[in-house]
Amino acid sequence: MKLPPHRRDPLRIAAAVQRLSGLALALFLPAHFLVLGLAIESPEALDSFLSLTQNPVVKVAEIGLVLLLGLHFFGGLRLLAVEFLPWSPRQKTYAAGALAAAITLSCCFLLSVTG
């Protein structure tokens, strides 16, 4: 599916990434609370659940989660800059910088997990 030119603008794509990363993080949050509940209810259940985190698929998912967090965080900073700083033609550069910072963050996490 090819998007029309007006929907391929980098700032529009940055806004879509911001919303989609927020939605994905919101979907992850209940699972996170469930695991925290395990820690309170039964340390043994938490230990058995955490043994699953050694699975390579879970490691890849963790890297994806860190990427989502970085995208949402740095995209949010870009939005704050758009809202509170004077408008500048460099807004597309800020969007690219937010993307680069998020990817750098997830790569650093990847190196710490695999290293």
Rounded to 10 degrees, the C-alpha dihedral 9/15/20/26 comes to 180
Q: pTM of this prediction? A: 0.71
| pLDDT tens per residue across span 83-97 | 888 877 787 788 888
Average pLDDT over the chain, rounded to an integer: 86
Give domain limits for the chain.
11-114
Residue among 101, 39, 35, 96 nearest 66 (CA) = 101
User: How confident is the model at residue 25, as a pLDDT?
Assistant: 93
Confidence class of residue 20 from pLDDT cuts 50, 70 and 90? very high
- For 11-114, CATH gives 1.20.1300.10
